[in-house]
Structure 1
Amino acid sequence: MNEPRSASLLQTLRAVAWSFFGVRRRADHEEDVRRLNPALVIGVGIAAALVFVIVLLLLVRWVVASGVAT
């Protein structure tokens, strides 16, 4: 019988953060596959990508406004 997926939001955030770097041990990946809720992983991944893009846009605006880029 399938075991219920019991990973917390913090564990999901950590797994998504590691996936952004592309560094993950095989044993940790297998544990994530067993425990993480796929819908939560997708939601956290989309939110993390949006935050990343917003931070990059703010950084670019700050550099351009400071005059360093010219």
Structure 2
Amino acid sequence: MSEDPSDRSEAPQAKNAPKPTFLRSMRIVAWGFLGVRKNSKYHEDLGQANPFHLIIAAFLGVLIFIGVLLLAVKLAVSGT
């Protein structure tokens, strides 16, 4: 049973499209937190992202955000 390349259900990626990496996903999430991304770039990034990486990156982003908020409150409450 030989595999016929035309039987593949996967869509071929563009030759110049970068591979989905976790660092790219972190950048996409960071732009999402800021909310200042061009719509065309947003759609371009989503087309090149791994959904699993995006979920993990978003979770880490939320944890970092909460950590920064807690640090700011702790500094404000300690008062100098």
- TM-score, length-normalised on structure 1? 0.80
**Structure 1 residues 4-57: Cα deviation after superposition (integer angstroms, max 9, x where no partner):** 682222221111100001121122112112110011101100111111101101
| Matched length | 67
Greater Cα shift, 43-52 or 1-10? 1-10
Q: 1:3 to 1:31 in 2, by over 3 A?
A: farther
**The structure with more radius of gyration:** 2
Identity rate, percent? 33
2:46 maps to: 33
1:1-70 map, 5 Å: 1-3=10-12, 6-67=19-80
Shift of 1:3: 3.6
Write out the 4+ residue segments of structure 1 that deviate beyond 4 Å after TM superposition. Answer: none
Q: Runs of 5+ in structure 1 lacking a partner?
A: none
Q: Give the superposed CA RMSD.
A: 1.8
Shift of 1:61: 0.8
